[in-house]
Amino acid sequence: MIAANLPALQVVLPLFGAVLCAFLQRGILAWGVALIVSLAMPFIAAGLLIQVLDSGTISYALGGWKPPIGIEYRVDVVNAFILLLVSLIGAIIMPYAKASVEKEIPADRQAWFYAIYLLCLCGLLGMAITGDAFNIFVFMEVSSLAAYALIAMGRDRRALLAAYQYLIMGTIGATFYVIGVGLLYSMTGTLNLADMASRLGGIENSRAVLAAMAFLTVGISLKLALFPLHVWLPNAYAYAPSVATVFLAATATKVAVYLLLRYFFTVLGTVFAHKSLPIAEIVLILSLAAMFGASIVAIFQDDVKRMLAYSSVGQIGYITLGIAITNLAGLTGGIVHLFNHALIKGSLFMAIGAVFYQIGSVKLDDVAGLGKRMPITMGAFAIAGLSIIGAPGTVGFISKWYLVLGAFEKGWWWLAFLIVASSLISVVYIGRIIEVVWFRPVSAAAKRAKEPPLSMLVPTLLLVAATIYFGFDTTATAGIAGLAAELLLAGIR
Amino acid sequence: MTGQTLIILALLIPTTGIALIALTWWHQNLRETMTLTTAGALFYVVMLILERVLNGEQLATQAFQIVPGLDLAFKVEPLGMLFACIASGLWIVNSIYSIGYMRGNNEPRQTQFYMCFATAIASTIGIAFASNLFTLFLFYEALTLSTYPLVTHKGDDNAKAGGRVYLLILLGTSMVLLLPAIVATAVIAGTIDFTPGGILAGKTDNLTITLLLVLFMFGIGKAALMPFHRWLPAAMVAPTPVSALLHAVAVVKAGVFTIVKVIVYIFGVDALVASGNADWLLYAAGATVLLASAVALKQDNLKRRLAYSTVSQLSYVILAAAILTPISIVGAAMHIAAHAVSKITLFFAAGSIYTASHLTEVSQLDGIGRRMPWTMGAFAIGALSMIGVPPTAGFLGKWFMLTGAMDSGAWVAVAVIILSTLLNAGYFLPIIIAAFFREPGKDVKKHAHGEAPLPMVIALTTTAAGTLAMFFFPEVPLALAKLLAGV
Amino acid sequence: MDLLQAIVAHYNHWIIIFLMVSGLYIVVARGNMIKKLVGLGLFQTSVYLLYLSPGKILGGTPPIISEQHTVYSNPLPHVLILTAIVVGVATLALGLALVVRINEAFGTIEEDEIFAGEEDE
């Protein structure tokens, strides 16, 4: 019974959890609820993934209404992987959240924080699991509205501006998405993604479908912060509460990438394959622009969180690059980087969150000399930093290996060199932080800093350990990403 | 013990050493005992492996697959064996020397120093025994990263700047040139395992082979082929034991080792000869030999002069490999070993001069030989070996190189070797002459000093003796080199 | 003449496009945060029409299955847009709440003034 209803539980549990948190009003109780819900999520997601690997795609008729009339939850390898990623990150953040939230959020708002956090989780999981185009929009707005509110809870007043800016950009993105869906709906008469895909045959070159593809691409790209639609992201990540930054950086953009994959390959596979629109070429150019442009901007930031935020924009470029390469190795690289980057950025932001917890600032000048005061945290940061550089033995290398392999297999030597050259830029900005942290004298702000409480340190170290572990054992990451890539590529054949 | 156990032991011992050193941070003597014990244990295991290899046994571990086509695997082949012997043997001597140097100069953060050192050695063993390009690359990068804290040990602005150059050039070349070369090899050849005879032969056209060769040769930045040699002088800011590690034990050796390995096991000597694609490498290496020697002539700072000497000596190895005859490959392998013992002696000597007298410039060394006879005696032996004068180890390498070059009619190489020998003599002999036969300057007389601390003198005498011993008893390295070249 | 007829026949599209573009223009061009939200509202409204107008059939009845009602409008777009309106209202509410907070924190809701103030710090 439970096994059969896992898809519904995946979304409903955090939704009810959110309501419960809102009623509880006390921060610590709300944290308890959020913790239980978050810890349950990975088990559900893992259960789904195992079912999918065992017996193929799951189709779940929500409320018993058969698709395509009712809303279908449709889980295949691709979104089972995303569900697992999002719920794993959610689970690892919760133990960490308690201390950090107590420090950064006023007591009377803590319960709300957890409620909104769970809503955001619910929205993200919903986006990933549902097979209905309009349902995706609803979940997208659930998660986005929650994200705006989470960001606005940051202590700095600029957090409000960041949230407002994100709200405007995010709503435009979501509205573009709905326009695209509306056009597709008027052409196919269905909102079910699988159904839509099958009905698009023969009309893939009609102007409405092409317009729909353009609208969807722009809308989703706004959500995933594809260069140059990323302007909302750096401020949002920099001023949000630490926990929110970790969560959003590791999951929100990743789910948006999943949508892009879903539309490009499954729903609009025929359009993508026909190349009536130069979508792959555009994505290629924008990805490269992100990898170089955003990474270079990251070098010149004086706020570590902002630096990492720009680095995120650059790293998203690698993920979308996998889409642009469009062969098995390349796409596997993109998808596996989705997972790997979530681990890496999660670790980095968690370590920086611990720094903020201790010294109340993440300005480069203030973190100077922290290597002596918080050696474990900063050591974890350095290892995760190596991963973002793509040093062998870390997850970053696995992603890079597949992407470069994909480029070579396509005969794009120049692209292979651009990929590796851009990773050199990350050496510079990570190196800059490392130098400041270890070679500068201890700053006034960092004088009395010490290691954060274990509840923050352990999750951080766990995540960092994962960036090493999955650099060697890749059956669960690259293996499944490879299956997902195969499935997706089948859609454009 | 099976071969697999031995290889894993060789990797695990220095790794455990890191932990042991970390755990004994509170007691200096205990911590140093840990370093020495670990070094001794490692050397013992490497000797056990050597015994088997000389008996003709094949030692390998099972492959651990990371992703399809990407394995973590180890295999002992002759060149790697030689490299492992050098690294593990010199680690012991270097540790003894380090103890004297670090204490003598009251260096800070010594625990971190010894930990990073052990990490570097572990990485070196990994490089030596790697059985495919990925495994090698993994440890190659680990070596770069673990030596970065050593290079920047002083922690001042100079060290920071030097560390930056060091990291950016080494990581840059390996990431931007070497990694694509590895991936391209994987795509073209379908494998990246080191295989006798090479894996690229006949798989692709000449142009691609040339391109790949360029990528590999410049991508292996640790070999300091010009113009990617800048990191070596930059890394001179490091404490002397670290310079010795960089120049003799691990880093640059890892570079030329990888180059020889790539030429022999990836491209294949015969295939390269057939395609005639390696000529440019001869010129590039020859140019580096001569240019670096010329630059060394002009350096007054002793360590910088030694650094440029290293740049030129490394290109000897590349040159020898690029001649592409079995006998010159023997020369390359021999020179790796000879340069290791000689250069470590020279750096030890430079370090003990610094520790005893705080002198760093060549022009200040007048008459120092009378006060530090052991140090300068060892220096003289090392220098003669660099020039290639018998009865020192350096002669052997040059002999095989010259034979190989003449056999194959590579007259450019012959000319380069002879000319550079003159240059070597030009920048080393004046130091020796000044040290022993010139009157010390007036200000020096006021600061009377004797020899450096005992551990340092022991260490540098040992390596100087080794330099001589290798000339008289070259059997083991020669046997390994011949196994490698297949003669 | 045909052209004119074609234009007139698709008058709903022209309204949609006009609303869409003017809404976006307001969002981009106005510095006042409330006005931006108004523009966003217009933009969203255009999408409501985009869904609703093809769903309505002239002379059609509500979708009731019986013999009298043979021609009826598609109910699905209406339902969808009901949801979209709810989402739009929620967005607007959150946006306005943020503007209130921004006004409290910065003393103004003009973007130019806020950014000018930030640079002075």
Model confidence over B330-373: pLDDT tens digits?
888 888 888 888 888 888 888 888 888 887 888 887 778 778 88
Residues of chain A neighbouring C47 (CB-CB closer than 8 A): 175, 178-179, 182
Confidence of residue B396 (pLDDT cuts 50, 70, 90): confident
Q: Which chains touch C (3 or more CB pairs under 8 A)?
A: A
Q: What is the mean pLDDT of residues A214-233?
A: 90
- Are the beta carbons of A142 and A123 closer than 8 angstroms? yes
Residue of A nearest to B172 (CA): A424
Q: Does the beta-carbon distance from A423 to B175 stay under 8 Å?
A: yes
Nearest to A168 among C36, C80, C87 (CB): C36
Residues of chain C neighbouring A236 (CB-CB closer than 8 A): none
Mutate to test the interface with A, among B123, B179, B185, B210 (most CBs of A within 10 A): B179
**Interfacial residues of B (vs A; Cβ cutoff 8 Å):** 64, 66-67, 70, 72, 134, 137-138, 141-142, 145, 152, 155, 159-160, 163-164, 167-168, 171-172, 175-176, 179-180, 183-184, 186-187
Confidence of residue A155 (pLDDT cuts 50, 70, 90): confident
Confidence of residue B442 (pLDDT cuts 50, 70, 90): low
Number of domains in chain A: 1
Per-residue pLDDT at B443 = 58
Q: Does the beta-carbon distance from A405 to B142 stay under 8 Å?
A: no
Nearest to A478 among B67, B141, B175 (CB): B67
Q: What percent of chain C has pLDDT over 90?
A: 30
Q: Does the beta-carbon distance from A141 to C87 stay under 8 Å?
A: yes
Residue of A nearest to C118 (CA): A158
Using DSSP, state whether A365 is helix, strand or coil. coil
Mean pLDDT score across all residues of chain A: 89
Positive or negative, the Cα torsion across B238, B242, B247, B252?
Answer: negative
Go through A164-176 and write b for each residue having 16 or more CB atoms within 10 A of its CB, e for each that does not: bbbbbbbbbbbbb
Per-residue pLDDT at A311 = 92
Q: Say how far residue A331 (Cα) sits from the centre of its chain.
A: 17
**Interfacial residues of A (vs C; Cβ cutoff 8 Å):** 134, 137-138, 141, 145, 148-149, 152, 157-158, 160-161, 163-164, 167-168, 171-172, 175, 178-179, 182, 185-186, 191
Residues of chain B neighbouring A413 (CB-CB closer than 8 A): 180, 184
For chain B, the domains span 1-274, 278-487
Say yes or no: C105 contacts chain A, CB-CB below 8 A. yes
Mean pLDDT score across all residues of chain C: 84
Mutate to test the interface with C, among A65, A112, A155, A164 (most CBs of C within 10 A): A164
Classify residue A304: in a domain, yes or no: yes
Go through B452-462 and write b for each residue having 16 or more CB atoms within 10 A of its CB, e for each that does not: bbebbbebbbb
Nearest to A462 by CA among A386, A301, A350: A350
Weakest-pLDDT range from A2-16, B9-23, B94-108, B205-219: B94-108
Per-residue pLDDT at B448 = 61
Q: How many CA atoms lie within 13 A of A428 on its CB side?
A: 16
Helix crossing, B110-129 with B78-104: angle to 10°?
170
Residues of chain B neighbouring A474 (CB-CB closer than 8 A): 66-67
Classify residue A136: in a domain, yes or no: no
CATH of residue C45's domain is 1.10.287.3510
Nearest to A237 by CA among A356, A398, A324, A72: A356
Q: What percent of chain A has pLDDT over 70?
A: 100
Q: What's the gap in Å between the CA of A245 and the closest CA on chain C?
A: 19
Q: What's the gap in Å between the CA of A469 and the closest CA on chain B?
A: 11
Q: What is the mean pLDDT of residues A110-121?
A: 91
Q: How far is CA B213 from CA A465, B175, B279, in A?
A: 36, 16, 11
Q: What is the mean pLDDT of residues A58-78?
A: 83
DSSP-derived secondary structure letter, A410: T
Per-residue pLDDT at C99 = 92
- Are the beta carbons of B187 and B203 closer than 8 angstroms? no
Number of A/C CB contacts below 8 angstroms equals 65
Chains B and A, touching by 3 or more CB pairs within 8 angstroms: yes
Classify residue A66: in a domain, yes or no: no
Q: A87-113 pLDDT, tens per residue? A: 999 999 999 988 888 888 888 888 899
Q: How far is CA B46 from CA A72, B1, B5, B10, C24, in A?
A: 63, 13, 12, 7, 72
Q: Does the beta-carbon distance from A138 to C43 stay under 8 Å?
A: no
Q: Cα separation of A203 and A212, whole Å? A: 12
Residues of chain A neighbouring C76 (CB-CB closer than 8 A): 191
- Would the pLDDT of C54 be above 80? no
- Would the pLDDT of C121 be above 60? no
Nearest to B400 by CA among B298, B287, B485: B485
Cα torsion B127, B132, B135, B141 to 10°: value is: 60
As given in the structure block, the two tokens for residue A346 are 């999660």
Residue of C nearest to A179 (CA): C47
**Interfacial residues of A (vs B; Cβ cutoff 8 Å):** 386, 389-393, 398, 400-402, 404-405, 408-409, 413, 416-417, 420-421, 423-424, 427-428, 431, 435, 438-439, 471-474, 478
Q: Which chains touch B (3 or more CB pairs under 8 A)?
A: A
Q: How far is CA A174 from CA A188, A271, A377, C36, in A?
A: 21, 22, 38, 16
The secondary element (H helix, E strand) that includes residue B385 is helix B373-387
Residues of chain C neighbouring A186 (CB-CB closer than 8 A): 54
Q: Which chains touch A (3 or more CB pairs under 8 A)?
A: B, C
Q: C68-85 pLDDT, tens per residue? A: 777 777 778 888 889 899
Residues of chain A neighbouring B141 (CB-CB closer than 8 A): 391-393
Residues of chain C neighbouring A182 (CB-CB closer than 8 A): 47, 50-51
- Would the pLDDT of C1 be above 70? no
Range of the domain at C56: 2-120
Residue B155 class from Cβ within 10 Å (0-12 exposed, 13-18 middle, 19+ buried)?
A: middle
- Would the pLDDT of A122 be above 90? yes
Say yes or no: C83 contacts chain A, CB-CB below 8 A. yes
- Would the pLDDT of B201 be above 80? no
- Would the pLDDT of A186 be above 70? yes
Q: What is the mean pLDDT of residues A17-32?
A: 87
Helices and strands in chain B: count of H runs, count of E runs: 22, 4
- Would the pLDDT of B444 be above 60? no
Classify residue A60: in a domain, yes or no: no
Q: Is the link from the previous residue into C62 a cis peptide, with omega within 30 of 0? A: no
Q: Does the beta-carbon distance from B160 to A435 stay under 8 Å?
A: yes
**Within 10 A of B51 (CB to CB), how many other CB atoms are there?**
10
Residue A60, strand partner residues: A73
- Would the pLDDT of A220 be above 90? yes
Positive or negative, the Cα torsion across B378, B384, B385, B389?
Answer: negative
Per-residue pLDDT at B446 = 52
Q: Cα separation of A188 and C86, whole Å? A: 25
**Three-state secondary structure readout of A172-187:** HHHHHHHHHHHHHHHH
Nearest to B67 among A413, A421, A474 (CB): A474
Q: Does the beta-carbon distance from C98 to A160 stay under 8 Å?
A: yes
Per-residue pLDDT at A172 = 93
Chains C and B, touching by 3 or more CB pairs within 8 angstroms: no
Q: Cα separation of A467 and A301, whole Å? A: 25
Say yes or no: C42 contacts chain A, CB-CB below 8 A. no
Q: Does the beta-carbon distance from A145 to C90 stay under 8 Å?
A: yes
Q: Does the beta-carbon distance from A398 to B66 stay under 8 Å?
A: yes
Q: What's the gap in Å between the CA of A354 and the closest CA on chain B?
A: 24
Pairing of strands A72-75, B59-60: unpaired
Mean pLDDT score across all residues of chain B: 85
Residues of chain C neighbouring A138 (CB-CB closer than 8 A): 83, 87
With a CB cutoff of 8 Å and minimum separation 6, the contacts of B474 are: B334, B393, B396
Q: A379-417 pLDDT, tens per residue? A: 999 999 999 998 888 999 999 999 999 998 888 889 999
Q: B169-184 pLDDT, tens per residue? A: 988 899 889 999 999 8
Weakest-pLDDT range from A376-390, B425-439, C33-47, C68-82: C68-82
Q: Cα separation of A213 and A273, whole Å? A: 13
Range of the domain at A457: 278-493
Q: What's the gap in Å between the CA of A164 and the closest CA on chain C?
A: 6
Q: Cα separation of A174 and A134, whole Å? A: 11
